[in-house]
C-alpha cells in the first residue's frame, strides 16, 4: 500500500503527471461516449471547504458520482472544525470514515499538517500557496488544443498568487518557459522562482512577458482572503489587464486561460473572455472534472499497490 497525497504538482513524478493527463483525456472521451464504469463504487470523498467554490465543489462531487462513489461537503460553519476541533484530530477521524479528503483552506501549512495526520489520500483543492488541481485542468486543456507543453512559452500576467506558484511547478516539470509579469511587491514565492530560474523569468512588464507566448494566463487581482486589499490592488494592477491588444503581442495562435471566477473589465477584458479564437476557459473549467477523476483513480491505484 502506498499512501500518496496531492498537495502540490510535485507530489507526482513527471511520468505520473503525463500519464495522469492522458488518463484525463481518455476519461473525458469515455464520459462523453457513455462508456464510463463505476471504479469508485462505494468510495467516499470528504470535502472540506474553508473558502467558497463553484468549480471545485461541483467537479469533485460530480466526478465522484460519475465514478460510482459519493462526496460529503464539509464547511467550518457546520462542522466542529469551526468550533476549534484541531485539524490533527479531524484528519484522524475523517480518515477512519472516508477514502479521500479534499481540502480548500488558507495557509498551505494547514494542509500539510492535515496530511501528516491523515491515513487516506489528501488533495489540495486550493491553499494560499498553491492550486494544483487547476493546473491539471490547464495542462489537459493545453495538450488537447496544442499538444505537448515542452518547449512552449507560457506568459503569466498579474498577481504572483497560488496559481502563479503552481505554474512555476508546472514549468519545471513539463519543461516550458514561464514568462511572468507581476507588479512589484506581488511576486510569486521567491524561493520557487530562484529554484527554477532556468524555466522562469520574472519582470513587471506584461508586454515583455506575453512576447512569443503560446499561452497567456491570468487570475483575479484579489484572491480569496484578500478582500480588504481589493481597492488598493485595483490601482496597483491597472495596466495588467489581458485583452486583445496584449494578445496581439503573443504568438498568432496563442491561447488564453483563466482559472475563473473572472472579473471582466479588471484582469481580463469581456471581449477576450468571449473570443473563441483565443479563449479556452470553458474547456479549462470542464477539464477540472476529468482531470480530478483521473487524480482520484491514480491515488486509489497507488493505495492498492
Ligand atoms: N477555479 C476554481 O477553483 O474555481 P472555484 O473557486 O469555483 O472552485
Ligand atoms: N487565486 C484565486 C483562485 C480562485 C480559484 C484565489 O485564491 O481566490
> Which residues participate in catalysis according to the annotation?
104, 131, 134, 219, 259, 288
Helices (H) and strands (E) in the chain, counts: 12, 9
Ligand 1 center from residue 60 Cα (angstroms)? 11
Instruction: Provide the 10 A C-beta neighbour count for residue 65.
Output: 13
pLDDT in tens, 213-249: 999 999 999 999 999 999 999 999 999 999 999 999 9
The CATH classification number of 9-130+287-304 equals: 3.40.50.1370
Residue 186 near residue 159 (C-beta atoms within 8 A): yes
Question: What pLDDT score does 181 carry?
Answer: 99
Question: What pLDDT score does 36 carry?
Answer: 84
Q: Does the pLDDT of residue 289 top 80, yes or no?
A: yes
Does the domain made of 134-284 have the CATH classification 3.40.50.1370?
A: yes
The Cα 270–Cα 244 span in angstroms is 10
Question: What pLDDT score does 182 carry?
Answer: 99
pTM above 0.85, yes or no: yes
Question: What pLDDT score does 263 carry?
Answer: 98
Nearest to 149 by CA among 130, 180, 175, 113: 175
Nearest to 167 by CA among 203, 208, 127, 136: 136
Task: Give yes or no for residue 59 CB within 6 A of ligand 2.
Answer: no
Residue nearest to atom 6 of ligand 1 (CA): 53
Q: Where are the domains of the chain?
A: 9-130+287-304, 134-284
Asked whether this chain's domains 9-130+287-304 and 134-284 adopt the same fold, the reply is: yes
Q: Does the pLDDT of residue 1 top 80, yes or no?
A: no
Residue nearest to atom 1 of ligand 1 (CA): 259
Task: Give yes or no for residue 53 CB within 6 A of ligand 1.
Answer: yes
Amino acid at each position: 500500500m502506498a499512501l500518496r497525497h496531492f498537495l502540490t504538482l510535485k507530489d507526482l513524478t513527471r511520468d505520473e503527471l503525463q500519464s495522469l493527463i492522458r488518463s484525463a483525456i481518455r476519461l473525458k472521451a469515455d464520459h462523453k461516449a457513455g462508456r464510463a464504469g463505476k471504479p469508485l463504487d462505494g468510495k467516499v470523498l470528504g470535502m472540506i471547504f474553508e473558502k467558497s467554490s463553484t468549480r471545485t465543489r461541483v467537479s469533485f462531487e460530480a466526478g465522484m458520482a460519475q465514478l460510482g462513489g459519493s462526496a460529503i461537503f464539509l464547511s467550518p460553519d457546520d462542522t466542529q472544525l469551526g468550533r476549534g476541533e484541531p485539524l490533527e484530530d479531524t484528519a484522524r477521524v475523517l480518515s477512519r470514515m472516508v477514502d479521500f479528503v479534499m481540502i480548500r483552506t488558507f495557509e498551505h501549512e494547514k494542509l500539510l499538517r492535515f496530511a501528516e495526520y491523515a491515513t487516506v489520500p489528501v488533495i489540495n483543492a486550493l491553499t494560499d500557496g498553491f492550486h494544483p488541481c487547476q493546473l491539471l485542468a490547464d495542462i489537459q486543456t493545453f495538450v488537447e488544443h496544442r499538444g505537448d507543453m515542452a518547449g512552449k512559452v507560457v506568459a503569466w500576467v498579474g498577481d504572483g498568487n497560488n496559481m502563479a506558484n503552481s505554474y512555476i511547478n508546472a514549468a519545471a516539470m513539463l519543461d516550458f518557459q514561464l514568462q511572468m509579469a507581476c507588479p512589484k511587491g506581488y511576486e510569486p514565492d521567491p524561493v520557487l522562482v530562484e529554484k527554477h530560474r532556468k524555466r522562469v523569468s520574472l519582470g513587471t512588464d506584461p508586454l515583455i512577458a506575453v512576447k512569443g507566448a503560446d499561452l497567456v494566463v491570468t487570475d483575479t487581482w484579489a484572491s480569496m482572503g484578500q478582500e480588504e486589499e481589493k481597492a488598493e490592488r485595483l490601482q496597483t494592477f491597472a495596466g495588467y489587464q489581458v485583452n486583445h491588444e496584449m494578445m496581439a503581442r503573443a504568438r498568432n495562435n496563442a491561447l488564453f486561460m483563466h482559472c475563473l471566477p473572472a472579473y471582466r473589465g479588471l484582469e481580463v477584458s469581456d471581449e477576450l473572455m468571449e473570443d473563441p479564437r483565443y479563449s479556452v476557459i470553458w474547456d479549462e473549467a470542464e477539464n477540472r472534472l476529468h482531470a480530478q477523476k483521473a487524480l482520484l483513480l491514480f491515488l486509489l491505484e497507488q493505495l492498492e499497490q
